[in-house]
Amino acid sequence: MSPEPSSILLSPIEYLKGVGPLRADLLKKELNLFSFGDLLEHFPIRHLDRTKVFPIAQLNPSLDFVQVKGRLVHFELIGERRSKRLQAQLKDATGTIELTWFQGIQWVQKRLLVGDDYLVFGKLSFFMGKPQLVHPEIESLDQGHVAPKTGLEPVYPSTEKLKAKGLNGRALAKLTAVLIPQIHERDLPEFLPQSLVTALRLPSRFKAYRNIHFPATIQDYESALYRLKFEELFLAQMRMAMIKSNRHRFSKGVVFDQVGDLFNTFYKEHLPFELTGAQKRVIKEIRTDTAKGHQMNRLLQGDVGSGKTMVALLTMLLAADNGYQSCLMAPTEILAQQHFNSLSRMLEKMEVSIGLLTGSTKKAEREKLLSELANGTMQMIVGTHALIEEVVQFKNLGLAIVDEQHRFGVAQRAELKLKSAIPPHILVMTATPIPRTMAMTAYGDLDYSVMDELPPGRKPITTVHRYETARPSVMDFVRKEIAQGRQAYFIYPLIEESVKMDFEHLMKGYEEVKAFFPEPQYYISMVHGKQKAEMKETNMLRFKNHDTQIMVATTVIEVGVDVPNASVMVIESAERFGLSQLHQLRGRVGRGSAQSFCILLTGRNLTRDALERLKIMCATNDGFLIAEKDLEIRGPGDIEGTRQSGVLQFRLASIVQDKAILDVAAQQCQKLMEQDPELSSAENLQLKSYLLSRKGKTEWSRIA
Ligand code: ADP
Ligand code: MG
């Protein structure tokens, strides 16, 4: 929230009655509360319900703070000195509850009278099966004292330091109680279109802010919360939609308006297989998108093995036909090498130049490549991060493809954009499907293609979970597969913090596997992060060429590696992997027409989350479903690539728990963008100026 300069919301927090300089310092340090507005946005974590008075007999351990009403029937000082406590019994028609004080005993003693009626409020606990309230708030109902408190009392998040200084979650409520009456409608003007407010029956912003703190009823609180969550999710999506719409209308992009000889010749003569329907559809989407004169910025989601590489190749041919260079970036050397190999093989009989540039490209070769890129004789280049280094200059880069997107940051994609006067089209390909709900929030500024179809003839991978103790039978199974001419992977976990230990595990695993397969005709490859690129390459290649039957590897093998003859994967310590990672790994098998198997090996001690992950893996091969589950289990903060960007972190809303609100926000956003893409109608002007006044630099300059 950034209010008008004159607004009371900008007043420094120390000016609020009850704060002052000392507390202000603490509030700033501990909770980042600098102004009245910040305090207004410090939302309660819950409310204590003081509308309700519980019959004592109904109290149970699931309740937290409770209010009871009854007569004081007994009153007694127990213990000596330090262990002294005051104990009272309060009785209503249904039962008796114990009230206990360890401190301020004299003060309480003076005020309580046996035989009087009281309203008592406090945190419920049970001692030896009996309900009790320690240090409750207590008010007399007899002597015409203060009127009993009713309503919903907010409790705020606080910190240990603040609590030590008397500012606990409930004390903060005293401050908001001072603040709220000073805030007026004009401080929180409405910016949502009136028709939307009406259609969704949202309370006004002003009302929502007031009621989220001090609601009269639970319903008031809930509609305030709904409104504020909706607002967050809607604004986030509107920002993305505006970026997209601006790009569609105003960006300049190179024009790929002809499908020429290269594309056609390849398509007619060298295509190694019939394209899947999904591949055809996506190619068409890309062709339409790149012909318009605006910059394409597209996210291609395709499950593992859906054939994204072919889409990349055809798009690169399209670029070449229109006289432009293109590049394909991969996250690792192995992958870059593999892409280069398979693309050059497919392009063997074509008149087109393609090169490979990685960190380990030799100096002479490198210089040759750089000059060919600069003078335009090199039409296509495959590589790693090395491609976006400053020394790499293109003559006319028209297309940049990024494979396995989440390993590249936004900043790196921005670098790519700078490689050319007119920004190149960008195609981001990812095999870790992002749940739909998340995609439209985090990547709503990108156009979106999905490949939800696998090439024909694939059999779903059979996945099972086995305990360590079953290792001998697992090994027997692998042996049978190998005897039938298949190949197998053994995958070991890799956690950065303990590289050394992981390495030892891997070596031990290698010895173990070797012991199980002593036959002289069986060979084992090993690939891990500590090897030099060349070594990795050689070992990969030996496996790919079927010179070895078994691949023992860490997760470096994870992405994109393509050996269709491999039909078994054994994942060791499978409980240590996340869902998406397991899915990625598993995608290394099931690439040929043979039935494939994935065996998840674990110890006996499993957490509930780990068991849940294993269960999901055994139940489905659908990457999109797995991504949804992953989101549910881990939350958006842990999904790769979204952590740093923070795009999915909201103050109130959660894209997992508030999926229903997110969907409504998405519908409304879409409707609005269809009706008034420039937000120029009178009703939408306030929304537009709100969005413009708050556009974050990063958000609006984001390219992907
Ligand atoms: P991913 O989408 O995971 O990157 P790849 O592009 O590596 O998938 O393709 C996986 C495998 O499927 C490769 O061996 C590729 O040659 C093959 N493939 C791709 N498209 C088709 C198709 N339309 N028909 C048959 N096989 C295909
Ligand atoms: Mg791939």
Task: Give the per-residue pLDDT at 43.
Answer: 95
Query: Stretch 25-43: mean pLDDT, rounded?
Result: 95
Q: Look up residue 597 and give its two tokens.
A: 């198997």
Exposure string for 379-394, b = 16+ CB within 10 A, e = fewer:
bbbbbbbbbbeeebeb
Query: Stretch 64-84: mean pLDDT, rounded?
Result: 87
Ligand 2 center–CA 305 separation, angstroms: 7
CA-atom Rg of the chain in angstroms: 32
Query: Stretch 357-361: mean pLDDT, rounded?
Result: 89
DSSP 52: -
Choose the residue to mutate in 310, 314, 382 for probing ligand 1, maximizing ligand atoms within 8 Å of C-beta.
310
Q: Whose CA is nearest to atom 1 of ligand 1?
A: 305
pLDDT over threshold 70, residue 562: yes
Q: Whose CA is nearest to atom 9 of ligand 1?
A: 307
CB of 117 within 6 A of ligand 1: the answer is no
Query: Stretch 515-536: mean pLDDT, rounded?
Result: 86
CB of 591 within 6 A of ligand 1: the answer is yes
Residue carrying structure tokens 């590589």: 383
Choose the residue to mutate in 339, 591, 624 for probing ligand 1, maximizing ligand atoms within 8 Å of C-beta.
591
Choose the residue to mutate in 283, 458, 562, 621 for probing ligand 1, maximizing ligand atoms within 8 Å of C-beta.
562
Query: Going by C-beta distance under 8 Å and a sequence separation of 6 or more, which residues neighbour residue 194?
Result: 683
**CA 627, CA 406: separation in Å to the nearest integer?**
14
**CA 270, CA 527: separation in Å to the nearest integer?**
33
Give the nearest ligand 1 atom to 310 CA.
6
Mean pLDDT of the chain: 87
pLDDT over threshold 70, residue 413: no
Task: Give the per-residue pLDDT at 443.
Answer: 77
Q: What is the 3-state secondary structure (H, E, C) of 66-104?
A: EEEEEEEEEEEEECCHHHCEEEEEEECCCCEEEEEECCC
Residue 414 or residue 475, greater confidence? 475
Ligand 2 center–CA 340 separation, angstroms: 12
Of 221, 167, 401, which is closest to residue 299 (Cα–Cα)? Answer: 401
Q: Whose CA is nearest to atom 19 of ligand 1?
A: 307
Query: Stretch 563-588: mean pLDDT, rounded?
Result: 91
pLDDT digits (tens, 9 = 90+) for 626-677: 888 888 877 665 555 544 445 567 889 888 788 899 999 999 999 999 999 8
Contacts 24+ apart (CB under 8 A), 603-609: 603/467, 603/468, 603/573, 603/575, 604/467, 604/468, 606/575, 607/575, 609/633
CB of 339 within 6 A of ligand 1: the answer is no
CB of 560 within 6 A of ligand 1: the answer is yes
Task: Give the per-residue pLDDT at 108.
Answer: 85
Of 248, 47, 293, 374, which is closest to residue 366 (Cα–Cα)? Answer: 374
pLDDT over threshold 70, residue 504: yes
559: pLDDT confidence band, cut at 50, 70 and 90?
low
Choose the residue to mutate in 279, 299, 306 for probing ligand 1, maximizing ligand atoms within 8 Å of C-beta.
306
**CA 123, CA 80: separation in Å to the nearest integer?**
25
Ligand 2 center–CA 299 separation, angstroms: 14
Q: How many CB atoms lie within 10 A of CB 252?
A: 11
Ligand 2 center–CA 464 separation, angstroms: 25
**CA 607, CA 39: separation in Å to the nearest integer?**
39
N- to C-terminal Cα distance for the chain?
25
pLDDT over threshold 50, residue 53: yes
Highest mean pLDDT among 315-324, 377-386, 532-541: 315-324
Give the nearest ligand 1 atom to 306 CA.
2
CB of 430 within 6 A of ligand 1: the answer is no
703: pLDDT confidence band, cut at 50, 70 and 90?
very low
pLDDT digits (tens, 9 = 90+) for 582-618: 998 998 898 888 899 999 999 999 999 999 999 999 9
CB of 429 within 6 A of ligand 1: the answer is no
Lowest mean pLDDT of 21-30, 54-63, 165-174, 384-393, name the range: 384-393
CB of 307 within 6 A of ligand 1: the answer is yes
Ligand 2 center–CA 252 separation, angstroms: 29
Lowest mean pLDDT of 91-105, 425-439, 489-503, 622-636, name the range: 489-503
Give the nearest ligand 1 atom to 302 CA.
2
Highest mean pLDDT among 138-142, 403-407, 409-413, 446-450: 446-450
Lowest mean pLDDT of 213-217, 475-479, 641-645, name the range: 641-645
DSSP 604: S
pLDDT digits (tens, 9 = 90+) for 541-550: 899 899 999 9
CB of 564 within 6 A of ligand 1: the answer is yes
CB of 273 within 6 A of ligand 1: the answer is yes
DSSP 346: H
Task: Give the per-residue pLDDT at 477.
Answer: 96
Give the nearest ligand 1 atom to 279 CA.
23
Ligand 2 center–CA 306 separation, angstroms: 8
Query: Stretch 162-183: mean pLDDT, rounded?
Result: 91
Task: For residue 328, give the ligand nearest its CA.
Answer: 2
Lowest mean pLDDT of 4-8, 323-327, 372-376, 651-655, name the range: 4-8
Task: Judge contact between 151 and 216, C-beta under 8 A.
Answer: yes
Q: Where are the alpha helices (DSSP H) in 204-332?
A: 205-213, 218-250, 261-265, 277-290, 308-321
CB of 95 within 6 A of ligand 1: the answer is no
Exposure string for 44-54, b = 16+ CB within 10 A, e = fewer:
beebbbbeebb
Query: Stretch 159-183: mean pLDDT, rounded?
Result: 91
